[in-house]
Structure 1
Amino acid sequence: MLVMNATTARKNLFKLIDEVILTHEHICITGKNGNVIMISEEDWKSIQERLYLSSVLNIKRKILKGLNTPLSECVEDNE
């Protein structure tokens, strides 16, 4: 993860936006009162979706069960 101060980030904002979108690498921007992380909107939505799915117990169990189910049990044999 790239780390830079707010002044440098401000000077390079448009370049940083393009870089984050293309590479999906997060950027830590440091400030006097704390730090922030710049991430793409696509990554943010993905994080939100994962958090939501993790918070719904039934869905989480079904996903875990599906991940542990052999493929042969998931596909119908048409022969």
Structure 2
Amino acid sequence: MTAITVTKARENIYKLIKDVNASSTPITITNNKGENAVLIGEDDWKAIEETLYLSSIPGMAESIINGGNTDISECLDESEVEW
């Protein structure tokens, strides 16, 4: 992960925001007090929040893994699902 001082971040904030959104690579913003922060794109943050939420539901991780390991021929056709 790239690290940049808070002074440099302040000077280049618009470019940093553009870069983290384009590359999905977070940037650590450091200061001299050791109280660092991480700049991350909004879409990446939403994905992290969703992952944390799904992980908090008992059995959900196993269900997702099982679904991913299921052969497509065993899956329901879209017309068979009530939305």
Alpha-carbon displacement from aligned partner over 1:55-75 (angstroms, at most 9, x marks no partner): 101322221210121222226
Aligned to 2:3: 3
Matched residue count: 76
Please, which runs of 5 or more residues in structure 2 have no aligned partner? 78-83
Query: Mind listing any 5+ residue stretches in structure 1 that lack a counterpart?
Result: none
Residue identity (%) = 42
Q: TM-score, normalised by structure 2?
A: 0.81
In structure 2, the residue matched to 1:68 is 69
- TM-score by structure 1 length? 0.84
Distance 2:2 2:62 in 1: 36
Correspondences of 1:1-79 after superposition (within 5 Å): 1-33=1-33, 34-74=35-75
Structure 1 runs of 4+ aligned residues shifted over 6 Å read none
Going by fraction, where is strand more abundant, 1 or 2?
Answer: 1
Return the offset for 1:47: 0.1
